[in-house]
Amino acid sequence: ASYKRIADVDDKVKAFLTLDEENARNYAKQLDEALVGRTEKGLLYGLPIGIKDNIVTKGLRTTCASKLLGDFEPVHDATVMGKIRSSEAVMIGKLNMDEFAMGSSTENSGFFRTRNPWNLDHVPGGSSGGSAASVAAGEVLFSLGSDTGGSVRQPASYCGVVGLKPTYGRVSRFGLVAFASSLDQIGPVTRTVEDNAYVMQVIAGYDKMDSTSANVDVPDYLASLTGDVQGLKIAVPKEYLAEGVHEDVKSKVLEALKVLEGLGATWEEVSLPHSKYAVATYYLLSSSEASANLARFDGVRYGVRSDNGANLIEMYKESRSQGFGNEVKRRIMLGTFALSSGYYDAYYKKAQQVRTLIKKDFDDVLAKYDVIIGPTAPTTAFKIGEKTKDPLTMYANDILTIPINLAGVPAISVPCGLSNGLPVGLQIIGKHFDESTVFRVAHAFE
């Protein structure tokens, strides 16, 4: 059914970069046969899943939507892939994204753009646009995305599905192609909060292969879906309903808060005063980390190598010039500049200090409240081409998701209504490692 749906709609939506049909069909058949006489089933037994193309899959092309990795076949699986396979989900294929996860619209893919299934003239969001669009279009039941500054939550919001960014360290990053290592997290994109809890149950947990993985027990997420939010204390940052956030988005969020109030929760306005520095801080830090992480793509170790260079240095230059798209080059240049001697203290170090202040804002509020609630994005999905000319307007769009990555806390986006026929997302932010409360609130609201 999954491949039939893909055949029917993916020429319009364009969510998939690579399909793995033969292996998926064989595996599904094996699962059916092995079921005979078996009572124990994997938690995701037989369910079709799509994977963002920056999560490595053994023997299956993993491109990060970059021409540079157009023919790259990993020799091992990411830790999350091993877990997904043991849960007996069926992997359908690899999903389109902004190249190396840099972008907010999936227009930076080195191959083609993905479209929003709700309205094909609009973007699906990004960078996990393929992950969100494939679920919204009914091509797969769920998918994995990655979120460095909003890339799971913002496309989930734009496509009317549920997307979680777990606490930094909760899900292993081993085998996730690194963009900004201090911010990157893998997260599930699903149709419901319950489905999301199922996928998290499978992918969360300590991994010795990731030195930033946290050795913290994984609770029973499904048990947190009680529907009970009686006495829950919600903080609503005034910066999240300020100028720049569309009136319809504000009113949907206020309606959602009314629903939660009706269920016995209370809310108060608070302030996250350093949020206004989050976009600048994030783009400095993430680009700095990216400039170091992407140094490994030299035309030798992975992917495409140019034949043009007369010597080694020229070969590096030619391979990178041909392989990387404009946005990736922009970030590498910005990051290299910010890290260079004479500028390091003024930019990188300063941004690290501001990051600490942003994190402290969240810690202070979350010491007094159970969750923070606001919109996921300032507007609904914008039109294809609307923001491609000016990178700064594209960056500004991430203002409500980026602070959460800088603070390292978990946050989910759940659909909370429509504006002009396009979905609005409600963002629920929790304390470190408290995905359970985030799920409980999201599920009660849903």
Report the interface residues with ligand GLN, using CB under 6 A: 101-104, 127, 146-151, 179, 286, 398
* Residue 402 beta carbon to ligand GLN: minimum distance, rounded to whole angstroms: 7
Collapsing DSSP to helix, strand or coil, 82 comes out as helix
The catalytic residue among 2, 14, 52, 128 is 52
165, 170, 181, 375, 433 from 205: Cα distances, Å: 14, 6, 18, 28, 11
- Return the ∠ at Cα 177 (arms to 172 and 180), rounded to 5°: 85
Q: What is the DSSP string of 226-254?
A: ----TT-EEEEEGGGGSTTS-HHHHHHHH
- Return the ∠ at Cα 213 (arms to 183 and 199), rounded to 5°: 85
Active site residue 341: no
Nearer to ligand GLN, 216 or 396 (CB): 396
* Residue 154 beta carbon to ligand GLN: minimum distance, rounded to whole angstroms: 7
C-alpha 46 chain-centroid distance: 24
Active site residue 104: no
* Residue 414 beta carbon to ligand GLN: minimum distance, rounded to whole angstroms: 18
Backbone angles phi, psi at 308, to 5 degrees: -80, -30
Regarding beta strands 266-270 and 48-52, do their DSSP bridges make them parallel or antiparallel, or are they unpaired? unpaired
* Residue 100 beta carbon to ligand GLN: minimum distance, rounded to whole angstroms: 8
Regarding beta strands 48-52 and 142-147, do their DSSP bridges make them parallel or antiparallel, or are they unpaired? parallel
The catalytic residue among 109, 151, 157, 288 is 151
Alpha helix positions (H), 171-219: 193-203
Instruction: Name the closest residue to ligand GLN (Cβ).
Output: 151
Closest CA to 70 of 20, 115, 18, 105: 18
Nearer to ligand GLN, 102 or 204 (CB): 102
Bridge partners (DSSP) of residue 371 are: 234
Residue whose structure tokens are 């206020």: 254
For the CA atoms of 399, 405, 406, 407, what is the dihedral angle to 10 degrees?
Answer: 110
Active site residue 127: yes
Rounded Cα gap, residues 186 and 207, in angstroms = 13
Contact call for residues 291 and 55 (beta carbons, < 8 A): no
Q: Residue type for 199, please?
A: V
* Residue 147 beta carbon to ligand GLN: minimum distance, rounded to whole angstroms: 5
**Sheet containing 371-375: order of strands:** 16-19, 90-95, 48-52, 142-147, 185-190, 162-165, 411-419, 422-429, 371-375, 233-237, 266-270
Nearer to ligand GLN, 116 or 146 (CB): 146
Nearer to ligand GLN, 80 or 232 (CB): 80
Nearer to ligand GLN, 147 or 207 (CB): 147
Backbone angles phi, psi at 105, to 5 degrees: -145, -5
* Residue 325 beta carbon to ligand GLN: minimum distance, rounded to whole angstroms: 13
Nearer to ligand GLN, 270 or 351 (CB): 351
The catalytic residue among 2, 127, 143, 224 is 127
Active site residues: 52, 127, 151
